[in-house]
Structure 1
Amino acid sequence: MWNLLRRLSCDCNCPWLVAGDFNEIMYSFEKSGGLPRDSKRMEVFRDTLKSGVANVEWLTLFPTGIVQHLPYSSSDHYPLLANTDSNRSYSGDQRFHFEAWWTLEDSFEGALKDIWESSSELLVDKLKTVLIGLKKWAKELKCNKGEQKRRLTK
């Protein structure tokens, strides 16, 4: 894969960006336990990242572009957002955790669809709208269920 990235960085003059979980470490301190990682392999990874994440054409096309780590839920991998306009960066004020129980609720799919379709903003802002909307939906649902539980218990 590293050879392919190196070749791509040399041979391709169209804009490109490579981002993702390469399942590799750059420095020894990033790893705990197990067999030690080969230092040459880490050096190759660092060199590839320096010259291979985005080429000059991509950086010229998106001079304020950045790759951001978004909050994650149950995985140990962060979702990435390639933001071509860093003036509109995603700032996760709080960590958003998707709750599995939401999918068991009959109203979830409709609520999510309504929230998503209520916004015609750029993706980053649309994701913020979904985050806020799902939190509000879940809070209302919990309040309603709590009230129903109190009535039934009484």
Structure 2
Amino acid sequence: MNLLAWNCQGLGAALTVRNLKEECFRKKPHLVFLMETKQKASYVRKVRRRCGFNEEWLVNPVGKGGGLALWWSDSIVVNILFSSSNIIHTSVLSDELFTPSYITFIYGPTDDDQRMLCWQEIRRLSNNIRSSWLCIGDFNDILSQAEKCGGIPRAWRRIINFKCFLSDCELEDLGFNGPSFTWYNNRHSLDTIWERIDRALGNMHLREQFPTLQVFNIDPARSSDHHLLFVQCQYQAYKKKRDFRFEAVWASHG
């Protein structure tokens, strides 16, 4: 199973929709998770149809901000177990694909207190999980100072709180391929700040079930300040076959 997650920072821009559509048709994900749609449900549905998906779960934006969209293909069945403005917690089934048992889609609040409440809710959800679990999204947090470049260092209290959250839920970072940072503040020169706040996490059961899982950070042509995450649960590296060439010298050896 393949899935795509992106803090698109609004689906209203034509470039954003074009980049999303291109990535959907190029990568062919079975699940798409969008954060900060900032659009009414009727408009998000139009974009969903243009990207080739039939099923959806939407969380409406509050005022001019927020909004979540989860789209999936007919090849899987998604059961919504919990939903809020920051979390969509699901169980996933398929007769055709090898899928994680649970996937939690996360848009971490920027406010410290609200983010801690979000982590507490996910801790509660984790108590009922006994099989493979994938968490993906924009966590608005980092695990080390190395995951930030520019600006003042992140407060160690925040880093420790985020690490404790992962430990309590028995989750670990699944790594990445591509650029080291997934967000920047859209400023230039000395004011530029880069951070790796978009990521995928998994538990031990997920690691065992999907040992070749790979996460890719993709830059969608600057239509958002966030990179797009693409996860292949069963990644296969394809090696190009070398053309066979007959060397005349071989005929002289017999």
> TM-score category by the smaller chain?
0.3 to 0.5
TM-score relative to the length of structure 2: 0.30
Higher strand proportion (structure 1 or 2): 2
Higher helix proportion (structure 1 or 2): 1
